[in-house]
Amino acid sequence: MLASFFAPFLIGLREGLEAALVVGILVAYLTKLGRRDALPRLWVGVGLAIALAVAIGAVFTFGAYALTFEAQELIGGGLSLLAVAMVTWMIFWMQKAGRSLKAGLEGGIDRALRGGVWALVAIGFVSVAREGVETTLLLWSMVQGFGDKPVALIGALVGLVTAAVLGWLIARGMLRLNLGRFFTWTGGFLIIVAAGVLAYAFHDLQEAGALPGPFGAGAPIDPSTGAVAVGWVGFPFGWAFDVSGALAPDSTLAVLLQATVGFMPQMTWLQVIAWVVYVAVVVPLFVRGVRAGRRPTAVPPAGAPAPAATPTPDAAPAVASAAHPNGAS
């Protein structure tokens, strides 16, 4: 039960806090400009974004019941691939754009105030919809592999509510949180989660027959047992390993491993290859981005004016004050 709760909770917390901070910056800037009269339009856009995310989740959840098993697996695998692509792009986008996020959002507000009513609604919608759709896809993809789906959904909901509370506390100046460190650690966790979702997507696509694997007629057979081959003799379309005899797939440890690192007691070679390649490519790029964000600026020559400080993702006080209604712009 705890295993099914933990991973969706952390994802809901991480993604929800990003959206909460974005909304906090927008609200703070409108308040600073003395345009609280424009807040209802902003909230309309935020509400529409949340409604879109909920509607997408409902369509994916209930719409699948009318499909055949192969169609469900094909759609599930495709959506999981989309979720991995969105999460990966968002992680690296936050590394680069996080330093100028506040200025970009405030510039968007300035332009929207010069436009019509719908311009500000659009700002609220676009600012939250991206996070909402990404979170919906990622959580939906993860929950499909959990045996205890209600607990997983409750974990995601608790994470989102917690994120909203934390965002409100930060915006009110009642909480100081090292956001840079938080997003760095959770970003690393999301990479591992995304690798697991990618592996599960390959599993779905193999079950649907879109990719060759142990579920089709062309699966490699072990001549001694007559079953699908396991290990090197099953490479590349058989089972890479099968430890389900020692680790039950529905056990707490198995569910926790699947939720956190994408490990399943029985995995195909394509799943293992997809997981390893994704981690081998994405983790070094992520680490390089983290180091680049922490790299100190060059010391100016004696007598030269010091350059203006550039906020980095690790500048927690700067981010927190940006979300505060009285924070410096």
Quick: pLDDT tens for 260-284.
Answer: 788 999 999 999 999 999 999 999 9
The pLDDT score that the predictor gives to residue 273 is 97
Whether 146 and 152 have beta carbons less than 8 Å apart is answered as yes
Q: Is 116 part of any domain?
A: yes
pTM: 0.78
Domain range for 138 is 2-295+312-323
CA 287 to chain centre: 17
Residue 268, H or E segment:
strand 266-268
Q: Is 303 part of any domain?
A: no
The pLDDT score that the predictor gives to residue 173 is 74
Q: Is 216 part of any domain?
A: yes
Q: Is 78 part of any domain?
A: yes
Q: Return the closest-CA partner of residue 183 out of 43, 45, 28, 319.
A: 319
Q: Return the closest-CA partner of residue 293 out of 197, 216, 191, 181.
A: 181
The pLDDT score that the predictor gives to residue 325 is 37
The pLDDT score that the predictor gives to residue 57 is 83
Q: Which one-letter DSSP state was computed for residue 241?
A: E
Query: CA of 103: how far to CAs of 72, 78, 125, 131, in Å?
Result: 43, 35, 18, 19
Provide the domain count of the chain: 1
The pLDDT score that the predictor gives to residue 10 is 83
The pLDDT score that the predictor gives to residue 119 is 85
Whether 200 and 145 have beta carbons less than 8 Å apart is answered as yes
Three-state secondary structure call for residue 239: strand
Q: Helix, strand, coil: what percent of the chain each, to 5?
A: 70, 5, 25
The pLDDT score that the predictor gives to residue 329 is 34
Q: Is 328 part of any domain?
A: no
Query: CA of 54: how far to CAs of 57, 59, 136, 208, in Å?
Result: 5, 9, 8, 27
- Beta partners for residue 267, in sequence order: 241
* The two structure tokens encoding residue 144: 């499909």
Three-state secondary structure call for residue 135: helix
- Beta partners for residue 242, in sequence order: 266
Whether 270 and 211 have beta carbons less than 8 Å apart is answered as yes
Q: Which one-letter DSSP state was computed for residue 232?
A: G
Tens digit of each residue's pLDDT (9 = 90 or more) over 59-81:
877 766 667 778 888 888 898 89
Q: Is 229 part of any domain?
A: yes
Q: Is 48 part of any domain?
A: yes
Residues of the chain with pLDDT under 70: 1-4, 63-66, 97-100, 117, 144-148, 295-329
Q: Is 302 part of any domain?
A: no
